[in-house]
């Protein structure tokens, strides 16, 4: 079978890779077709100031509903997009869409709204990343400080020289940077300090463990304190209960995101949700 395909595809599709590789190849084909047919879209999950619950921004999250109408989770298709290089154009689409959404919110009067966008390693180290970022902001007419870029902790520890270089270029655009999934990588204190990013996003796993055991809550406290002592803002991901929120406030965590506050939603709904949550008493 592999012989029927051109050389590039045959490498993906060699017999020894088995069913799994074939499945992945099919998934990638579907993803590419959906992207070209403009069937990928972006949803937004609000982020709040924890002590007051005031909305500070949102995270843009990519969604793919495949040909059969089923949602494929990003954890399944993002890695494929990364391996294939497709993430470069998909990532640009997310960035541009998020910029237009934040521009729209600014038009509605939410001038301090911060839009967070996940950036893959392949995008981050691509030579056109900074020009792409600048063009996205310029075309949507948003200032740099309306944007935050999320890079994962493991990415940040990849190649320190490259990372510091790109971070400096990002800083020059006015955009801020958050370390995503913090606590799941192995960064050292000195590496972390060198990066000088604005925010640490504590991974959902710690938020959940904080409640389930004494050791868990000690670890959560350490992670929050680590961020605070480095002068960073700390945002906890995946907050689902009032108990978790209260515990994180007590630990000094600045911001939060999770189903307790809101699920990811389409842009049109976000605009209504913002109006609603603004009216609600604090």
* Contacts to Mg ion by CB under 5 A: 118, 150, 180-181, 237
Could you tell me which stretch among 20-28, 210-218, 227-235, 236-244 binds ligand C2E (CB under 6 A)?
Answer: 236-244
Query: Residue written as tokens 């020009």?
Result: 131
Site string for ligand C2E, 153-192 (x = CB under 6 A): ---------------------------xx-----------
Q: Which of 152, 136, 134 is nearest to 79 (CA)?
A: 152
Neighbours of 47 (CB within 10 A): 27
Task: For the chain, list the strands marked E by DSSP.
Answer: 40-49, 54-65, 71-72, 114-118, 147-152, 176-182, 199-202, 233-236, 255-256
C-alpha span between 77 and 73 (Å, rounded): 7
Give the total of residues touching ligand C2E (CB under 6 A): 23
Could you tell me which stretch among 70-78, 136-144, 162-170, 228-236 binds ligand C2E (CB under 6 A)?
Answer: 70-78
Residue 14 tokens, joined: 């060699």
Could you tell me which stretch among 11-19, 68-76, 127-135, 220-228 binds ligand C2E (CB under 6 A)?
Answer: 68-76
Instruction: By CB under 6 A, name the one of 40, 48, 62, 177 that touches ligand C2E.
Output: 62
Q: Which residue lies nearer to ligand C2E by CB, 108 or 236?
A: 236
Give yes or no for residue 47 binding ligand C2E (CB under 6 A).
no
Q: Which of 260, 194, 182 is nearest to 225 (CA)?
A: 182
C-alpha span between 100 and 35 (Å, rounded): 18
| First CA to last CA distance, the chain | 63
Give yes or no for residue 118 binding ligand C2E (CB under 6 A).
yes
Task: Enumerate binding residues for ligand C2E (CB under 6 A).
Answer: 45, 61-62, 73-75, 78, 91, 94, 118, 120, 150, 180-181, 204, 237-240, 257-259, 264
């Amino acid at each position: 079978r592999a012989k029927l395909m051109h050389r590039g595809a045959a490498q993906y599709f060699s017999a020894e890779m088995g069913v799994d590789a074939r499945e992945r190849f099919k998934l990638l084909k579907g993803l590419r077709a959906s992207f070209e047919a403009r069937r990928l879209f972006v949803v937004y999950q609000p982020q709040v100031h924890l002590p007051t619950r005031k909305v500070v921004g949102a995270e843009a999250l990519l969604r793919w509903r495949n040909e059969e109408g089923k949602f494929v989770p990003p954890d399944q298709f993002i890695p494929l997009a990364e391996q294939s290089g497709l993430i470069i154009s998909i990532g640009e689409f997310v960035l541009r869409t998020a910029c237009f959404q934040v521009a729209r919110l600014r038009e509605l009067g939410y001038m301090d709204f911060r839009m967070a966008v996940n950036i893959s390693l392949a995008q981050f180290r691509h030579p056109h990343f900074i020009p792409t970022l600048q063009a996205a902001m310029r075309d949507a007419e948003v200032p740099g400080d309306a944007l935050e870029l999320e890079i994962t902790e493991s990415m940040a520890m990849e190649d320190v020289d490259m990372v510091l270089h790109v971070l400096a270029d990002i800083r020059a655009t006015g955009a801020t940077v958050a370390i995503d999934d913090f606590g799941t990588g192995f960064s050292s204190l000195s590496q972390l300090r060198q990066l000088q990013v604005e925010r640490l996003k504590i991974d959902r796993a710690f938020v959940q463990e904080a409640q389930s055991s004494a050791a868990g809550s000690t670890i959560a406290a350490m992670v929050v304190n680590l961020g605070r002592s480095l002068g960073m803002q700390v945002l906890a991901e995946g907050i689902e209960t009032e108990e978790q929120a209260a515990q994180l406030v007590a630990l000094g965590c600045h911001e939060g995101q999770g189903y307790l506050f809101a699920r990811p939603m389409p842009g049109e709904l976000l605009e209504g949700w913002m109006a609603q949550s603004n009216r609600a008493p604090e």
